[in-house]
Amino acid sequence: MAAHEAWSLVCRLFSGGSPVLRAALSPAEVRASALLGAAIKPTVVNRSFALCPYCQLRNGQIFVDDKGGQFCLCSDCGRIALAPDDRAAVTLDENWLRSRLRMAMDIESRDGVTDLVDGVWRLGDARREPVLLSRSLARLWAEPAIFERVRVSGAGIRVIAPQSPQTRGVPFPLGIEWLPLEERFTFYGGRISYISGANALNAEEPAAADPSGPVNGPFSADFGWVTLPGWSHGLIRCTDGQAAVFRSLWSFKAVEVDGERVMKRAGLSSGKPNDLFKVKQRYKGDPDYEGPLYAYRALVKSNRREGTYWMPCAGGASGSA
């Protein structure tokens, strides 16, 4: 059980990407962090807010008193003196995580870890397939060109990334396999182990439970919903026409095609794909209308002069690139 807690803590610290106050850890997590040894490092959170040491519920701004001591101004408890311990935090040694994941995946030690972009690393090749580690799936949806940088012809790509509350099903096109950090790896006896696919094949089943969850990349099964963490108003709901355009673009697998072909496959008679996403003056600023436009801008590329459109996130590892 403690090993399970330890692994959850590793996953939580990695996906957050920043230190967590010691005071915010549960007693089980404190025990778990002892088990993790050097993988968890003590640090001090240096910022202007601290968790109130009295109620441990609210964050209060940190002030310095006339004697040079610090206090936290909690909205419920008022002035509460801060001991140095109250700002003690823990952080994950991410080099440890990357090196142990490489061992778990049997990655050859001669090729090192490459920092691709902020929050995404190429861990190396396992059975001649590139393995990426990403702090989130959203990072890769936003920048699918990363895949082009690591793609090896004739081989798939594996992506290790934490789960997010919304993610179910298959977040990437064919040829790019997602290995959820929490589920496909375990921590035991100081090592990280990989749980191979045979034991985790039914991961797709819960998708049916929530039809709005992302199944085709960031899109739901019917393309009517889009999950984009950069959008702060929750799930994006598309009209039938918008969903048809996304479905059509998805089916072309990131290949640049003529706008007319996109519309034809979408079953729409005329116009350009982007026409359906325009926000009328009176709806400007309304998230229900701005959401689909935000998704369109984030996910669809076009060449205005050629009149062509394509969706980079629909390109699988076996795609046309």
81 binds Zn ion per the rule CB under 5 A: no
Piece of 17-25, 49-57, 98-106, 229-237 that binds Zn ion (CB under 5 A): 49-57
* CB neighbours of residue 174 within 10 Å: 12
CA-CA distance, 120 to 79, in Å (whole number)? 41
* Alpha-carbon torsion, ordered 320, 302, 312, 134, to 10 deg: 150
Which residue, 23 or 170, has its beta carbon nearer to Zn ion? 23
**Among residues 21, 30, 41, 54, the one that binds Zn ion under rule CB under 5 A:** 54
* Residue 54 beta carbon to Zn ion: minimum distance, rounded to whole angstroms: 5
**Binder among 52, 90, 137, 266 for Zn ion (CB under 5 A):** 52
Query: Hunting for tokens 């002035």 — which residue is that?
Result: 79
User: Which position among 30, 77, 235, 293 is part of the footprint of Zn ion (CB under 5 A)?
Assistant: 77
The answer to whether residues 138 and 232 touch, using CB atoms and an 8 Å cutoff, is no
Closer Cβ to Zn ion, 72 or 236, answer by number = 72
Pairing of strands 176-180, 20-21: unpaired
Work out whether 24 is an interface residue with Zn ion (CB under 5 A): no
Please identify, using beta-carbon distances, which residue of 12 and 58 lies nearer to Zn ion: 58
Q: Which residues pair with residue 88 across a beta bridge?
A: 44
Q: Which helix (H) or strand (E) holds 125?
A: strand 120-126
Q: Which is closer to Zn ion, CB of 74 or CB of 159?
A: 74
By beta-carbon proximity to Zn ion, the closer residue of 59 and 251 is: 59
* ∠ Cα 156 161 165 (to 5°): 125
Binders in 226-285 for Zn ion, by CB under 5 A: none
CA distance 133 to 192: 14
Q: What is the DSSP letter of 216?
A: B
Instruction: State in angstroms the smallest separation of the CB of 13 from Zn ion.
Output: 25
Using a 10 angstrom Cβ sphere, with 0-12 exposed, 13-18 middle and 19 or more buried, the burial of residue 282 is: exposed
Q: Which is nearer to Zn ion, 54 or 289 (CB)?
A: 54
Element containing residue 150 per DSSP (H, E): helix 145-150
Among 2, 24, 44, 55, binds Zn ion (CB under 5 A): 55
Answer yes or no whether residue 73 interacts with Zn ion by CB under 5 A.
Answer: no
Contacting Zn ion (CB under 5 A), which of 50, 74, 90, 262? 74
Residue 76 sits in the site that holds Zn ion (CB under 5 A): yes
Residues that bind Zn ion (CB under 5 A): 52, 54-55, 58, 74, 76-77
